[in-house]
Chains A and B, each alone.
Chain A
Amino acid sequence: MTVPTVQHTEGKKDVTFRVFRFNPQVDSKPYFDDYTIPVEKGITVLRSLNYIKEHIDGSVSFRAFCQAGICGSCGMRVNGLSQLACTTQVWDVLAKSREPGIIKVEPLRNLPLIKDLIVDMDPLVDKMKHYSNWVDSTMPEAEMGKKEFLISEAEFLRYDKATDCILCASCVSECSILRANKDYVSPAVLLKSYRMSVDSRDSLHEQRLAELVKDHGVWDCTHCYRCQESCVKSIPIMDAIHGIREDAIESRGMKDTSGSKHAEAFMIDIEKKGKLVEATLPIRTNGVIWTLQNLLPMAVKMIMKRRTPPPPPLVKSAKGIKIFREMFREMTEHVKQDHKSHKN
């Protein structure tokens, strides 16, 4: 569906929004509709969608509420990248568009599709429940309201950034492991779990951690950094993931779960090659069959898109034991620095 081409005026561009459509009541499979509208500088993707809904096709369905990047309703994929429609400038996207003048708008991935750009958030809420994403206060209910916990600025800063999360699910949509395993804990839930666990008011630390180190938990993360790169609030999610792993190794030791297998896998990698070989990790942790069933199809797809770490033979041995030692220490003690070197 296209409206008659609008004449170009100063400061306006005709932009075609290629919108993912699917109405489960009538459509057997999804398709795309094109809507071409004039867009001036400073207009967001959400405002464009609103315009399309109000002036061209009232049936285009998407969520939006605050329109200010606060509520997390409007997460969607714009030209392939999960983000908030209400804070994404059309002209910025256009500048990077592979197909000139066209912006593709699709629903978030890794959550069940409901209609058009709307996905079901319930699985995420269920995971928040499963991993006890709340503070279970050490203070008895009867005592509450009488006095404050005294909390240092330093402690506050430990979870300050994590509490920025607006549950928009952009990171969930970008997570590489979730594509293969829908039961995987999810980056946002890891982030929230971490936020709770570093809160001195919380009493559930051990219990939460015990759940996090099980299958589908923190050790399944492949360190691909996709979640962090796509976080709409620029939250260092990997700090949280590393934080939980560090915590697990420290307080639970190395041998008790598949997680420790994972940790060992890390170390053997480092030992052998002097370098982290992420592509082989899932096999060692989960066994060959699980990997073949769950990860290989995805890995192939990802390699095609050049998203995955190179397969093992391409990883050359690092020179010298010194580097190895450094990396080893980073992995087990100062995991956060690992994050920095990744980012560089």
Chain B
Amino acid sequence: MKPFDIVIVGGGGAGLYAAMEAMKTNPALNIAVLSKVYPNRSHTSAAQGGANAALANKAKDDTVEMHIFDTIKGSDYLADQDAVDVLCSEAPKIIRELENIGTPWSRLEDNTIAQRPFGGAGRPRCCYCSDKTGHTILQTLYEQCLKKGVQFFNEYFALNLSVSGSRSNGLIAMNMKSGKVEAFPAKTVIFATGGYAKMYWNRSSNAAGNTGDGQAIAYRAGIPMKDMEFVQFHPTGLRKSGLLVTEGARGEGGYLLNKDGERFMARYAPEKMELGPRDLVSRSLETEILEGRGFDSPAGKYLHLDLTHLGADLIKSRLPQIREMSMNFEGVDPIEEPIPVRPTAHYSMGGIDTDNQTRTVMDGIYAAGECGCVSVHGANRLGGNSLLDILVFGRIAGRTAAEEAGKFTPGTISEAEIAGQWDEIRSGMHASGHYERYGELREELGQTLALNVGIFREASLLKKGIADIAELKERAKKLRIFDTSDVFNTNLMQVLELKNMLDLAETVAAGAHARQESRGSHTRIDFPVRDDANWHKHTLATQVKGKVTLGEKPVTMGRYELQERTY
């Protein structure tokens, strides 16, 4: 088979932008986009709030520089400042470009793209389309890719890279419709598989498939993961399902209340109140709950997000999805009653280590979007900066891979390697004697993570977490696959996803254990302050002989010196 010039793994915002840009850069290239779900189903569609760009449509005095500063400060100074420069300076251009190709942004009175306030931002610079921003961006990108004739391999599940020595030969993937394992020999591969926060399962706002597959594939191929310990907890997940109530709700003026009816954020962020940065607001909610000021329910303790004072009209016009979700999954109409909420694992700051051009350490392998870590979010991502990240760095990945594809000549992927993968993934179908069940292991993983590697962390908890994950990994070798068929075997896919989550959970817990300080989303009860002298650096987790090995990487500084982060 003739090798592809570019294989893009993932059809979310990052993958689709990469595809579009690669075709634009060099229309002669042979490009494939693989996605385990139809691209329009990708988790980008769940982003409700919006995307940041200093367009200065709403606040005329907003500038790119302010956006840069907010992002660096928000990251607790762990973001690389040159990367943040790229992110924020490209922002206005890329949002306009999306507008130019048909994204239906909401509009201001002067007919420009609408913007609203969002957590951690000094100006209202979050561009939105009511509360379906991600959905409409994804639709637009998918439509444009169909227009450009991008070659889609929908419902293909990426399994592994084929690696010879330190070189990649391309990708190995399973065609869900046929069950066949297929080779995608490729000069370059871009991973754009989204985040890994679903490892927290019921305490996560993510889609079932946000299992960090791309990261796990890269990790197994020896590519380092960066800053994996930084998992963002969103303050307002629905109590029962973990599903998200967007920051937009607070941006539009919603209140957070404890059981005494108190707007408790006054205690933690007197100036910004509900619009403080996520990590701070999440810790505030968790503290309220730990200190007994939460409501009790069989589904766990929770607090109130009150929108009732905003009025029916505003809720209906600006926050219709929130209202629908709240009614569907909690049985609560936010026009009439407050929404029951608690923090939920939401975003993975960590990911595949890349440079500013999205290159990894392996020739011809790139990563972009939530699955990569440039890093622009550092220890804490600002709301509205992730959609921006996937667009900006998705585009850079597409362009870079298109420009560099000519440099690489991949080896071949042998029939034997394909056959080996086929046997390996299906081994659980013939389990005899004692076996493990997918649902149970997944539940246990989510629980130990939420308990021991959650919002508040501490050495002994983390040790327990690490031991639990190791044990689960061992047990996972005996996972039984009950569906033995080839065609659309979702049971097999679940098991493969769980194994990917287990591989990554190990890196999250190891990083969290190593990092003896509190920074951004990472809060150590035993090391409550930021320790710039020892820990102003990225962690790198690499798999060596099947074991996680930690290294480090310096943070690129720039115009902004380290400062205490207060709001």
Using a CB–CB cutoff of 8 Å, the interface residues on chain A facing chain B are 23-26, 42, 44, 53-55, 57-59, 61-73, 87, 89, 114-115, 118, 120-122, 125, 128-129, 132-137, 139, 141, 143-153, 156, 159-160, 163-164, 166-167, 196, 199, 201-202
Contact = CB atoms under 8 A, between A and B. Distances in A.
The 9 closest A-B pairs by CB, nearest first: A58-B482, A135-B102, A54-B439, A134-B143, A59-B483, A150-B111, A145-B97, A145-B93, A71-B41
B284 interface: no
A59 B146 contact: no
Contact of B241 (A67, A129, A132, A149): A67
Nearest to B244: A68
A167 B146 CA distance: 15
Interface string B420-443: 000000000000000001110000
Nearest to A68: B243
B94 A58 contact: no
Interface string B41-62: 1110110000000010000000
Given A24-B487, A67-B241, A146-B96, A73 B37 contact: yes
Given A66-B45, A67-B241, A145-B94, A59 B491 contact: yes
Contacts of A153: 107, 109, 111
Contacts of A156: 104-107
Residue in A58, A89, A125 with the greatest tally of chain B CB atoms within 10 Å: A58
Contacts of B37: 63, 65, 71, 73
A76 to B, nearest CB: 14
B144 interface: yes
Contacts of B130: 160
Interface of B: 24, 37-38, 40-43, 45-46, 55, 93-94, 96-97, 99-102, 104-107, 109-113, 129-130, 132, 135-136, 139-140, 143-144, 146-147, 154, 177, 207-209, 240-241, 243, 321, 324-325, 328-329, 331, 437-439, 480-491
30 contacts: A54-B437, A54-B438, A55-B439, A58-B483, A63-B37, A63-B490, A65-B37, A65-B207, A66-B46, A66-B207, A68-B46, A68-B207, A70-B321, A71-B42, A115-B485, A128-B143, A129-B146, A132-B147, A141-B24, A144-B96, A144-B100, A146-B93, A148-B96, A150-B110, A150-B111, A153-B107, A160-B104, A166-B45, A166-B135, A196-B102
Contacts, number: 172
Contacts of A122: 154
Given A125-B146, A134-B144, A61 B101 contact: no
Contacts of B113: 148
Contacts of B97: 144-145
Contacts of B491: 53, 58-59, 61
Given A25-B485, A58-B481, A156-B106, 13 more contacts: A69-B325, A71-B42, A71-B43, A125-B154, A129-B146, A134-B146, A134-B147, A141-B24, A145-B100, A147-B96, A148-B99, A166-B135, A201-B102
Contacts of B101: 135, 137, 144
B86 to A, nearest CB: 15
Of A87, A136, A143, A151, which is in contact with the most chain B CB atoms at under 10 Å from its CB? A151
A148 B484 CA distance: 53
Given A42-B331, A71-B46, A163-B136, A128 B146 contact: yes
A23 B485 contact: yes
Contacts of A133: 143, 146
Contacts of A44: 328
Contacts of A139: 100
Contacts of A53: 490-491
Contacts of A141: 24
Contacts of B111: 150-153
B482 A57 contact: yes
Contacts of A199: 102, 104
Contacts of A159: 104
Given A42-B240, A160-B130, A65 B41 contact: yes
Contacts of A72: 40-41
Contacts of B46: 66, 68, 70-71
B480 to A, nearest CB: 8
A68 B325 contact: yes
A71 to B, nearest CB: 4
B328 A87 contact: yes
Contacts of B480: 58
Contact of B488 (A70, A118, A146, A201): A118
A145 B40 CA distance: 23
Nearest to A201: B102
A23 to B, nearest CB: 5
A144 B93 CA distance: 8
Contacts of B104: 156, 159-160, 163, 199
Contact of B490 (A61, A132, A136): A61
Nearest to A53: B491
A167 B40 contact: yes
A25 B208 CA distance: 27
Nearest to B134: A70
Contact of B487 (A58, A114, A132): A114
Given A66-B207, A67-B207, A137 B483 contact: no
Contacts of B102: 134-135, 137, 196, 199, 201-202
B438 A61 contact: no
A115 B100 contact: no
Contacts of A128: 143, 146
Contacts of A196: 102
A71 B490 contact: no
A293 B467 CA distance: 68
A42 B238 CA distance: 14
B146 A61 contact: no
B323 to A, nearest CB: 12
Contacts of A132: 147
Contacts of A23: 485, 487
Nearest to A156: B107
B485 A59 contact: yes
A137 B243 CA distance: 35
A164 to B, nearest CB: 7
A77 B400 CA distance: 45
Contacts of B240: 42
Nearest to A42: B331
Given A132-B147, A166-B135, A59 B482 contact: yes
Nearest to A86: B328
Contacts of B487: 23-25, 114-115
Contacts of A68: 46, 207, 241, 243, 325, 329
Nearest to A134: B143
B114 to A, nearest CB: 9
Contacts of A58: 438, 480-483, 491
Contact of A151 (B94, B107, B143): B107
Contact of A163 (B96, B139, B331, B489): B139
A62 B490 contact: yes
Contacts of A89: 328
Nearest to A84: B328
B340 to A, nearest CB: 12
A204 to B, nearest CB: 9
Given A54-B437, A145-B100, A201-B102, A26 B490 contact: no
Contacts of A24: 487
A144 B140 CA distance: 15
A288 B321 CA distance: 47
A202 B100 CA distance: 10
B528 to A, nearest CB: 35
A264 to B, nearest CB: 34
B112 A148 contact: yes
Nearest to A64: B208
Contacts of A66: 41, 43, 45-46, 207-208
Most chain A CB inside 10 Å of its own CB: which residue of B42, B154, B208, B489:
B208
